[in-house]
Structure 1
Amino acid sequence: MGEFHYVRTPMAEWDAELAKIKASGIDIVATYLMWNYHEEVEGRFDWSGDRNLRAFVEAAGRHGLKVFLRLGPWVHAEVRYGGIPDWAVRSMPTRGDDPVYLRHVERFWHEAQKQVQGLLWRDGGPVIGVQIENEYNLRGPGQGASHIATLKALAVQLGFDVPLYTVTGWDATVYPHREVMPVFGGYPDEPWGKSTGKLPPKETYAFRFGSRVSGDLGAQTRGGRTGDADGDIAHTPFLGAEYGGGIPTMYRRRPVMQPDDIAAMLPVQLGSGVNLYGYYMYHGGRNAIGRTTLQEQTAIGGYNDLPIIDYDFQAPFGQYGMANAVLPAIRPFHLFLQEWGTKLAPMAVRRPDRVPTGPDDLTTPRFSVRSDGDRAFLFYNSHIRQYPAAMQRSVRFVVDLPSGPVTFPATPIDIPADRYFIWPIDMALGATDARLAWATAQPLTTIATPAGHVTVLHAVPGIPVSLAVRAAAVRARGARIDRAGDVFTVEELKPGTNAMIDIIDTRGRRERVLILTQEQARRISKVTVAGTDRLVMTEDEIAPTPNGMHLVSRGDPRFTFAMLPAATVVKGTLPLRAAGQDGVFTRYTTTAPTRTYRVTMKPLRPAGVASPVQIGGPAKAAVEPYPESFTTAAAWTLTVPPAGPAAIEDRRLVIRWAGDIGRLFVGTDLIDDRYFDGRSWQVNLRRFDGRLGQPLTLSILPLRKDAPIYLDEAAIARRGDADQVASLDSVQVETDYGLDVSF
């Protein structure tokens, strides 16, 4: 499940973005209903344009996605007052059974229910569940579990009749048992935290045995007691809703995620028993500006400061829909779950004999097993953000199963640091009676081809591939194969698009096993095009279309993709060239006409001396400077040429800069903003092409060396050693190219 906020992305882009989300392996889209977006003025509801909930749910259904509505009424979402409108916050108690508050909640939910009428699961629609409130741990008169019960009863009364009702299960949450189910999460850093230094190793990277509740996920209230979720383990499935697909950049903490920081969480949480991996966020977005800015900020009592507009979240798909570097790292796990999830779901978690003493134990191996009878998967992780774990030397695993212990691999191996994977034990191979007894390669997916059915696995860098197969015969070119009875051990196979193993079962049926490299696996998508499932290997963004697929190449006019199985006829909106075989894949290439654009950059005003960053707000930590502070911002005028008639996907303004806060204006209208964290700032221009006849203004508030904020080491190096910095290093336009392929 991946979170995608419809109100934070233009309606015109929903179909394209949902298609990419589906193609990346997501099954369910979750979305918050932000009350203040729909009833900013009391009694005036707006469900039009980018706020059209019904159109969004219908679009998700068209793309084969189920929908989970997170109703609130308080949602957090790093939005002003947690989504509750200003007029409500000013005039009544909220988040409790106050009758005035409940009357307004009922009116809002009644309007929301009309938007999804006929689209619920019972009606054949995509909406399978609703979440009540968020991060709720308030106790007192009219609060606590009874308030959640009140809200659920109200939702049911209004017609939200769905299979699943959930609440968030962390930070001492309270809820009525057997009425709602807790959902869980975890993040690789805490941008809402107060520390200006590197955090201790996060428990997000440690397997969970006996508890589902992660540490502080940033609830803005404190319950003060143990919550209800762990006491409900025997009665509820282990569902996730907020495992970080990235993290937001908040004013006082600005950590930058690496792909492994996010991807390593998947085998840990799945190996801890999670049966619904829910990302927050999966697709970034932007806040609208209405009567107020809709950002969360300490100036109005919020716990955090965030940019006015930017909500990129470092998510797999960012604010403008561009795939971030984390997407290829997580997609192989999505393919695994789509193929073997129904086998994994009933498997129980097995705790190893020896486990780490705590999150800061970096020497004890971290792994778990989930099994159902003799079938099992082993989950392993040695990646901990910002901390080097120990290499594990001369490793063999021993897993006790009903039919006896399984010891593998055949030859001891060294497992380097920063590795994470899922390995199979006693896994079926296609429709044969052959079994994969074990493998030191991760299952990826399966695919039917004219040459036979193929099970695809991928190697783990630095670990030699070996596997044991129970079958009548096994053949593999370039590998060493040893046989003991009906068990064939395959070693010394070099992973790649040619690393094929042929397996014959006891009835003469054939299965093929392909072992890719991890790099190749991270470029694989499985999409249905022209009525046939195909594996598409490409570095480009991919989304299926009614007649084929759409590819986006960011900043490079060249396209290359490979398919298995190949299609008889392949056509493109650019002239495609068959580039021959890449192992068992067929490769195609093409190049779009190159379009370049030059930005004119002119200084407008120099930076003044920035005032010291103040400490304050509920967190008693660094707070975003007040608007008057921006009189010290440096500014430049940027002139961007129009796109012209060229058929291109989009253009991106790539800004390399250093400072505290950057803001980009058309005239006096703010169109984007960013807190400096060391990364380049990218602004897609298609949304603003109609306004580029006038210059843009870029302002950069200076960042003081003594600012009490957290930056990663790379950002500190970019900042330099001066007392303050407000520099614009370069501004470029990069062109993104699109290609439609039909079959």
Structure 2
Amino acid sequence: MNRLFGAALLSAALSTAAGAQTLLKLDARAEAPAPQTGHLKLGTARSPKGGTLAANSQYLLQDGKPWLPVMGEYHYSRAPASQWDAQLRLMKAAGIDIVASYVFWNHHQGQPGGFDWKGNRDLRRFVQLAQAAGLQVVVRLGPWAHGEARYGGIPDWIVDAMPTRGNDAEYMGHVERLYTEIGSQLKGLLWKDGGPVIGVQLENEYNLNGPGQGEAHIAALKRLAVKAGMDVPLYTVTGWDGAVYPSGEVTPVFGGYPDEPWAKSTTELPAKETYAFRFDTRVSGDLGAQTQAHDRGTAETDKDKVPFFGAEYGAGLPAMYRRRTLVSPDDIASMLPVQLGSGVNLLGYYMFHGGRNPVGAGGTGLEESSLSGGYNDTPRISYDFQAPLGPDGQQRPVLAKLRPFHYFLRDHGAQLATMTVRQPERVPASLTDLQTPRWSVRSKGDAGFLFFNNHVRQYPMPAQAGVRFEVQLPGGAVTLPSQPIDIPSGAYFVWPINLDLDGVKLRYATAQPVARLDAGAQGIVHVFAPTAGVQAEFALADGVKAMSSEGGQLLPIGKAGGRAVSVLLLSHEEVAKLQILDIAGQRRLVFSDQQAWVADGKLQLRGLATEPLHAAVFPALAKPRANGLLVREDGPLQHLEFKADTGEPALQVSATREARNAPRILKGGLAGAALQPIPEAFAAAATWSLKLPQQLAPKAEDVLLELDFVGDIGRVFAGTRMLDDWYYNGQRWQIGLRQFGLKPGAKLSLSVLPLRADAPVYIDAAHRPKFADGQAQVAELRGARLLPVRRVVITP
């Protein structure tokens, strides 16, 4: 980190190397079509202070300017209300602009009668906290949500008594009451009131078509939403799997995942289209809809009338009983240049924050399961989803890969939103064609961005040797880089073409734009991230400047209004630590392995109490203050450090029951695949006692119980109360203990149902247990520990 802002390594204009090369060509000279307006029937677009939010056929407009936001899903009723404020601010710090959440009907009205909007179900408070964190909100109304919830979130007593998901009069009467209740919760919090709620989603994954269904049902739901007072700028529906909706009344949203945990296969799936650029359709393949359609949906015929919005690009994956895929950070992040390069103008994640299911009336599980007629079996409580932020706010490694793209969209999204997708001369013949380079350009006039992906999950792609790109633009061709390069296997990136950097023209760069920073007396700094295995070139009016791939270097490129304009190329290590925050009225770069965010104008750092906390800040804070804070200066960087303040609490672990022979896993249900064992099967589980210490790190904000086990299903109990459960998939299982109000010295119990060697379930090869000859099953606890988490607050 002490190399940051070191001397730039420059060279004169480079000559093209002789020898064989692959010239990838693309023609972007055609004029970009103008957006259509006035055909979408949206709600009130103006706020009391005159702000506007609207949409045309191509993109969103905020206050009349193009807007390309990032949206992340976080289910309030699956999370402790005590955590909402900090978690929403963490989402904001990670570059999220909009938080989306389902309203699960059965979380609020488990029995006929009144609704429960208290505690963890307090939708109104959640929305208020989102606004305080600087986030906009999209409320996904249902009534059918899916979300791996029992009956898709519709209460049992509704499902038992009447038809659902159509215009049945009795059903719609109950839906009207649900919408009225939600409208009451959101009163005064809509965009038109000066609030953060900019949109609502009607239903979910809806492709039914028949009497009282299809367009008629979605139109009826919209009328009920408006009648309930939900007059918002955006009304959306999911557009995949043959979705049917009234054109012009709602806007479709799309998605894609790096695997299909709802699939029946117990082996690796073919290469997913999520990694392939789309030039003709916005609809991905199977996204797990519970119903089947046989005709083209409205989204296909609406393609030129509505923007390309995303709502469910998987920032992780759920573990379902029969298929438990564990994805890598690159499996997730490599989808981003593909989706953006395919024209996505709202990047929406599902899920961005994990959670846990509440328990229903009478102790009923509220998860989707084959026992209740669901297509999938999911954990009773856990809804971890391998999300960038875990159920207890844990920072997952994928965040380091996603944040630079979010910051790029925050500063360059307005320009990108107006750009048209351009198809290369040569594209892959099919999803299984891993040899042909995968790339696209989005451009308008002579400016554009080049998107490239050489990563497909579980299918290593070859390095692309001797590559150069030739992009024909109205003002002439741009060829980059200056000499052929080898693009490594697994690389993915966004490169700019003719980018205006505060009046300085950057003809191209072989590095990814991240952010623009007003550094005060040090001028305007444009932050870039290097591309793995590729030397960074910046093509300027006075030639091509090459910078070391180690990064951490500042390159002056000109002046704007008497102020210096520079390019800052970070190192890979610095990009992974980068968080961009507004502190004390100024936007700053914060480099930290820990979580960083701002609340009440103060910098918050959160990490393990057993380790030092550290953040490097640029520009420096005036007079940072905090108990135990050590401040040191290193060039332009200001280092803020705290020593570790506790040891790891002792956890007493003892085996209490040996595993018995687990019953054979049955197949059946709607999927005709492996079924989660029935409750009585857990009599075969191995169990351990986990005794907490009398002093459970009293100064810690939380204490995570981390379990490393191998088996089929793990469950943790306090007495007979199940606190959490987990399908083994190779991922470490962590449980925040503060939320449960456990007494000092409390005893917890861990049960692990053995995983049979013949289990017809999919677990990635890297994590599937290696059964010895003759070994029929495994149930093993390899480690259990307590990890105290602390937060420090720094006054700037």
- TM-score category, normalised to shorter length: over 0.9
Equivalent in 520, 526, 535 of residue 455 of structure 1: 526
Change (3 A) 1:718 1:698: farther
Q: How far apart in 2 are the matches of 1:86 and 1:163?
A: 33
Does residue 152 in structure 1 map to residue 205 in structure 2? no
One of 531, 542, 548 as aligned partner of 1:493: 548
Matched, 1:619 2:674: no
Deviation sequence 1:529-569 (CA, Å, 0-9, x none): 11111110111011102232111113642011111101121
SS at match of 1:233: coil
Q: Counterparts of 1:354 and 1:692 in 2: how far apart (Å)?
A: 65
Which structure 2 residues correspond to residues 179-578 of structure 1 after superposition, within 5 A?
A: 179-291=249-361, 292-430=364-502, 433-449=503-519, 450-470=521-541, 487-497=542-552, 499-505=553-559, 510-554=564-608, 556-578=610-632
1:128 to 198, 207, 225: 198
1:665 pairs with 708, 713, 717, which one?
717
- Whether 1:82 aligns to 2:137 is no
Distance in 2 (alpha carbons) for counterparts of 1:375 and 1:244: 30
Conserved in 1, the CA contact under 8 Å of 2:452 and 2:493? yes
Measure the CA separation in 1 of the matches of 2:561 and 2:741.
63
Q: What's the counterpart of residue 475 of structure 1?
A: none
**Aligned residue among 237, 252, 261 for 1:167:** 237
1:653 aligns with 2:705: yes
Q: Who is 2:48 aligned against?
A: none
Q: Which has the higher contact order (CA 8 A, sep 6+)?
A: 2
For the 8 Å contact 2:530–2:551, the answer to whether it is kept is no
**Distance between the aligned counterparts of 1:465 and 1:405, measured in 2?**
20
Residues 487-536 of structure 1 show CA distances to partners (whole Å, capped at 9, x for unaligned) of 42102434433x11112259865311111123311211111111111110
Classify the secondary structure of the residue corresponding to 1:445: strand
TM, length-normalised to structure 2? 0.89
Question: C-alpha distance in 1, partners of 2:771/2:121?
Answer: 39
Asked if the contact 1:678/1:718 (under 8 Å) is kept, the reply is no
Q: For 2:387 and 2:563, locate their aligned partners in 1 and report how far apart those are by CA, in whole Å.
A: 44
1:482 corresponds to = none
- C-alpha distance in 2 between matches for 1:80 and 1:723: 33
Report the CA distance between 1:594 and its aligned residue. 2.0
Gaps of 5+ in 1: 471-486
Work out whether residues 524 and 563 of structure 2, in 8 Å CA contact, stay in contact via their aligned partners in 1.
no
Alpha-carbon distance in 2 for matches of 1:576, 1:309 = 42
Name the SS of the counterpart of 1:47 in structure 2.
coil
Contact kept, 8 Å, 1:137 with 1:173, in 2: the verdict is: yes
Matches of 2:654 and 2:550, distance apart in 1: 52
Q: 1:138: which partner in 2? A: 208
Shift of 1:159: 1.1
Pair 358,554 (structure 1): closer, same or farther in 2 beyond 3 Å? farther
Query: Aligned match of 2:765 in 688, 691, 713?
Result: 713
2:36 aligns to what? none
TM-score, scaled relative to structure 1: 0.95
What is the CA distance between 1:692 and its match in structure 2?
A: 4.9
Q: Percent identity?
A: 50
- Give the Cα–Cα distance (whole angstroms) in 2 for the partners of residues 725 and 199 of structure 1: 26
The residue correspondences of 1:594-743 to structure 2 (distance < 5 A) are 594-644=646-696, 646-717=698-769, 722-743=775-796
For 1:289, what is the secondary structure of its paired residue? coil
Over 3 Å counting, the alpha-carbon distance change for 1:594 and 1:691 in structure 2 is closer
Inter-CA distance 330–642: structure 2 relative to 1 (3 Å threshold): farther
- Output one character per residue of 1:205-227: Cα deviation in whole Å (capped at 9) or x when no partner: 00000100000000010012221
> What amino acid is the match of 2:548?
L
> d(CA) in 2 for partners of 1:584 and 1:211?
48
Alignment size in residue pairs: 722
**Whole-angstrom CA distance in 2 between matches of 1:145 and 1:334:** 35
1:417 is matched by which residue type in structure 2?
Answer: S
The superposition leaves residues 207-251 of structure 1 with CA deviations (integer Å, 9 ceiling, x where unpaired) of 000100000000010012221112101110000000001010000
Separation of aligned partners in 2, 1:720 and 1:99: 60
Checking the alignment, whether the CA contact within 8 Å between 1:286 and 1:311 is kept in structure 2 is: yes
When structure 1 is superposed on structure 2, of 499-508 and 655-664 the one drifting more is 499-508
Contact 2:609 2:700 in 1 (8 A): no
Stretches of structure 2 that go unaligned for 5 or more consecutive residues are 1-70
CA deviations over 1:665-700 (Å, ceiling 9, x no partner)? 000000010001112211122223434543111101
**In the aligned structure 1, how far is the partner of 2:178 from the partner of 2:622?**
53
**Retained in 2: the 8 A contact 1:642–1:689?**
no
Residue pair 2:704, 2:787 contacting (<8 A) in 1 also: yes
Contact 1:574–1:739 (CA under 8 A) maintained in structure 2: no
Instruction: Tell me the distance in 1 between the aligned counterparts of 2:695 and 2:261.
Output: 37
